[in-house]
Structures are given as C-alpha cells and as structure tokens.
Amino acid sequence: MEGSFGTSARIAIYGVGLMGGSLALCFKGKPGLTVVGHSSDPAEVIKYLERRVVDEATTDFEAAAEGADFIFLCVPVGVLGDYLTRLSALPLKPGCIISDVGSTKASIVATAARLPLGSACFIGGHPMTGSERSGVEAASAILYENAFYILTPLPGTPEHSYSRLVGLLQETKAQVVRMDAEQHDSIIGAISHLPHVIAVALVNQIAGYNEEDSFYQRLAAGGFRDFTRIAYSDPVVWRDILVNNRDVVLKLIADWNRELTDMARLLETADGEGIERKFESARTFRAKLPERRKGFQAIMHDVYVDVPDHPGVIGSITGLLGSHGVNLSNIEIMESRADVPGVLRLSFREASHYERAKELLAEEYAVHA
C-alpha cells in the first residue's frame, strides 16, 4: 500500500453488513486501497454501491476474490467454514491473507488448518465491538476505534503475513491483541457468551412470572432492564455462536450452577457473613475492570441524569449538549429507579462526547455514569 505498510492492495469483503461495512469504510478512500464487496443478494450489492461503502461490488463469489491481497469473511459464524472451504478451491493470489470477524475462533482456525490454502494463509480475527443495529445501514468508520481486535494466527503463520494484516488494521484505529484460538474462546465464552445465556434465561424467567402478575414487567424498567440489555441480541447470530462454542459454554454453565448452588447454601443457612464476603469479593474484582472500552456489553456510553419533574427540562438538557457540539445518540426517560424522582438515560457513541456531556451536565444536575 502507498500508505502505512507497503504497495497498493485489493481488499475483498464477503458480507458487507455492520462489521464488514464498517471495515470497508475504514479502508475505502485510503491511498492505494481498493475495496470490493460481495453478497449473493443482488439487492444488497446495489445497496453497497448506492451507500458508497465499497469501491466495487459483485454477486460473483470467485470474481470478488480474484486478485485480492486481503479477504475478510464477515458472514455469520455458522457459515464461516463453508466460505473458507469455497475460497480454498479458488486460484487465490499468492500471499493472500484471509481473515474473519467471528466471535468464536477455535473451530474456524481448525478448519483453516485442514484446508489446502497454498501460499495464502488464514488469520482468525475478532473485533470486540458491535452495535444494537445491523446491516450495512449501521456501518460506521469509527465502530472499531479503541476496541480490542483479537487475532488468532495458526502456529505456522508467516510473521510477515501477520505483520501485513496488523498494518492494514491500523486503519481501523483498533488495539490489536494476539491470542491462541482456544484461549480466546475460553475467555470470550466467560465474559460474553455466558452473560448472554444468563441474561436470556433471567428475562425468560421473569417473563414467566409476568404471565401471572403484570407488575413484573411494569416495575422492571430500571436496573433490571439495564442488566439484561444483551438479552435483546440477534437470536440467529447467538444461536450460531453458542452452538459453535458449546463445549466451552457448557463448562461455564456448570461452573455458574456451582456458584448459584453456593449462594443458595449461604441463604439456606442464613450465613450473612458469607453473603457479605461474596458481594465484597465481586465488588473488589469489578472495581479493577477497565472502564469505557468498547466490547460486547459496552455498545454505548451511558450517562444517567436525575431531573426534576417540570416542563422543558428535557429540552434544556438536549439544547445544552447541542450548543456545545455534543452528539447525543439516544435518550430514554426511565420510569422507575430507586429513590430518584426522574432519570434520563443519555447514550453516546463516542467517548469524547460522553466525557464532555458529563462535565456540562454536572454543573446543574446530579449525574451518574
């Protein structure tokens, strides 16, 4: 490439939705880079071009890969193996680097190790970011900024190929992390896949109670809704992720059940000190967690503002932010929060706008991050 890491490069992206489209926007227009989008759906191809997310687009699987220096598979986890198998049968450009954006890595890395890729190589990838929206309409050039972008190369991956991919990904402004595929699946299973399972199970449990007493739903607008936000995730996407990483998730569920059993034992014996130790241990560890990094459960930067119940207060807040150039992505009036008369949840996509909003609002209102 004529930019940061060499000569010009042709980049093919299969699946130009939220993740693939955001990658495309990071690369498109940069010196020496040409971005080609692929979809089997002609209507999607037209959409890619109309929105100017890519330089070229096609429904032809082979044509998209022809002459590509980099290929990104941004398709659902359940079909990643099929796409990679199809690519392995093509006359790929020598030295071509294939990667993906799936949130499970061991299975696709194992598939790549079995396939005859010739001089091409596969380097697993997982950008730890996302959005509550989907499709190319949701694509953003800043989606990956400051997010962890995990790469899981095979043991025999040439270092110069790995370095080339890292160089290209600098255009995303993400923080690249190198990791073993099995280690990745174990960690991401614990911090993302298990929480999704727990959130879905908890929401379904409360939904069952609500069939007998509608107050469950009416009073769940505050902390419960925040805690279970990830239960709103795409069912098909998460079906594929959980099935793909089922061995890890099953072990994690067994460990979770032991934690719940231990807590139940403390309650059964009215062991107040033991319960306190549990909470203190959790509180200590949580205090050490990094704040405001993009990830599965930090899609937005949220600010909670305690507000008096009088006309014009919402307009005053939005006007204040707008007059200082702060971009507000979403606003929600929360119906219920313990000991607080009224709460607004303000959501920001950019950390800088989130920080500026806190400063401005703290001068007049009680603000909670």
Tens of pLDDT, residue by residue over 112-125, are 999 999 899 999 99
pLDDT at 297: 41
Please, where in the chain does CATH 3.40.50.720 lie?
Answer: 9-179
C-alpha atoms less than 13 angstroms from C-alpha of 177 in its C-beta half-sphere: 14
Structure tokens at 179: 């990791």
Mean pLDDT of 248-276: 96
Q: What is the pLDDT of residue 129?
A: 86
Q: Please state, rounded to an integer, the average pLDDT across all residues of the chain.
A: 88
**The domain defined by 184-287 carries CATH number 3.30.160.20:** no
Mean pLDDT, to the nearest integer, of 290-298? 52
d(CA 305, CA 317): 10
Which H helix or E strand runs over 262? helix 246-268
Q: Which residues lie below 8 Å from residue 194, measured CB to CB, with a gap of 6+? A: 249, 252, 253, 256
If you average pLDDT over residues 142-148, what whole number do you get? Answer: 88
- Model confidence band, residue 354 (pLDDT cutoffs 50, 70, 90): confident
Residue 170 sits at φ, ψ, to 5 deg, of: -60, -25
Say yes or no to pLDDT of 200 above 50: yes
* CATH 3.30.70.260 location in the chain: 301-368
pLDDT higher than threshold 90 for residue 287: no
At 334 the pLDDT is 60
Per-residue pLDDT at 231 exceeds 90: no
Categorize the per-residue pLDDT at 357 as very low, low, confident or very high, splitting at 50, 70 and 90.
confident
Structure-block tokens of residue 318: 């939005």
Of all residues in the chain, the percent with pLDDT exceeding 90 is: 62
- pLDDT (average), residues 135-150: 88
Q: What is the CATH number of domain 9-179?
A: 3.40.50.720
The DSSP H or E segment spanning 268 is: helix 246-268
Q: How far apart are CA 21 and CA 13, in angstroms?
A: 8
Compare 342 and 93 and report the one with higher pLDDT.
Answer: 93
Q: Is the pLDDT of residue 293 over 60?
A: no
| Confidence band of 342 (pLDDT split at 50, 70, 90) | low
Q: What is the pTM of this model?
A: 0.76
At residue 338, the pLDDT reads 44
**pLDDT exceeds cutoff 50 at 41:** yes
Q: What is the DSSP annotation of 127-177?
A: E----S--SGGG--TTTTTT-EEEEEE-TT--HHHHHHHHHHHGGGT-EEE
Q: Are 314 and 344 in contact (CB under 8 A)?
A: yes
Q: How many CB atoms lie within 10 A of CB 210?
A: 14
* Residue 162 pLDDT greater than 80, yes or no: yes
- What are the start and end residues of each CATH 1.10.3660.10 domain in the chain? 184-287
pLDDT at residue number 208: 95
Q: Which of 61-75, 120-134, 287-301 has the highest mean pLDDT?
A: 61-75
CB 354 within 8 A of CB 294: no
Look at 5-19, 233-247, 258-272, 342-356 and tell me which has the smallest mean pLDDT.
342-356
Model pLDDT for residues 42-61, shown as the tens digit of each residue:
999 999 999 999 999 999 99
Does the pLDDT value for residue 2 go beyond 50? no
Sorted by sequence, the CB contacts under 8 Å of residue 96 that are 6+ apart come out as 65, 68, 69, 70, 71, 119, 120, 121
Question: How much is the average pLDDT of 207-217?
Answer: 92
Residue 298 has what pLDDT?
43
Instruction: Enumerate residues 6+ apart whose C-beta is below 8 A from 190.
Output: 252
Pick 301-368's CATH classification: 3.30.70.260, 3.10.450.50, 3.40.50.970, 3.40.640.10.
Answer: 3.30.70.260
In this prediction, residue 4 has a pLDDT band, given cuts at 50, 70 and 90, of: very low
| pLDDT at residue 242, as a whole number | 95
- Residue 204, classified by CB atoms within 10 Å of its CB into exposed (0-12), middle (13-18) or buried (19+), is exposed
Confidence band (pLDDT; 50, 70, 90) for 83? very high
229: phi then psi, degrees, rounded to nearest 5: -55, -40
The confidence band for 179, taking pLDDT boundaries of 50, 70 and 90, is very high
Is the distance from CB of 152 to CB of 100 less than 8 angstroms? Answer: no
- Other beta carbons less than 10 A from residue 320's beta carbon: 16
Question: Mapping DSSP to helix (H, G, I), strand (E, B) and coil, where does residue 110 land?
Answer: helix
Whose CA is closest to 100, among 240, 205, 270, 285?
240
**Beta bridge partner(s), residue 366:** 306
User: In 10 A of CB 146, how many CB atoms?
Assistant: 15
Return the minimum-mean-pLDDT range out of 101-110, 202-211, 254-263, 300-309.
300-309
Asked whether the beta carbons of 34 and 56 are under 8 A apart, the reply is yes
